Amino acid sequence: MRKANDKSLKEAIAQMLQVYKIKKRFDETHVIAAWPELVGKSVANRTKELFIHDKKLFLRIESSVIKNELMLMRTQIINKINDEAKSVIVDEIIFL
C-alpha cells in the first residue's frame, strides 16, 4: 500500500532540482548533449565550442559555410532548443 507522502522517482528528482536551484543548469546541459540530434551530425562535428550563458548560446563553428547557414536559421534553431527543453533556455545565438 502506498503512503500519502510517497513520490515517484520523477517527482523526487524534479523537486530536488528545484530545491537546489539547478534545474536551469540541468536543462542547459541537456540541450548541449542533444546538440547533434538538434542540428545534425555534420554540423555537430564541425562545432568546436558550445555553451550557454545568460540565455545566449555561444557557438564556434570551424566552417564558414556552415556558420553562414546557421546564421540564416537562427530562429529555427532557437525554437528547436526551447522545444527540446520545454522552457525558454536560449533567446539569442552568438557566433564566436
**Which neighbouring-strand residues pair with 56?**
53, 92
Cell numbers describing residue 43: 554540423
Residue 2: pLDDT over 80: no
Q: What are the tens digits of pLDDT across the range 3-44?
A: 777 888 888 888 898 889 898 898 899 999 999 999 999 999
Residue 77: pLDDT over 90: yes
Domains identified in the chain, total number: 1
Domain that holds residue 90: 23-95
Residue 37 included in any domain = yes
Residue 1, pLDDT score: 60
**Alpha-helical segments (H) within the chain:** 9-19, 23-33, 35-39, 41-45, 64-72, 74-85
pTM: predicted TM-score of the whole model, two decimal places: 0.80
Residue 32 included in any domain = yes
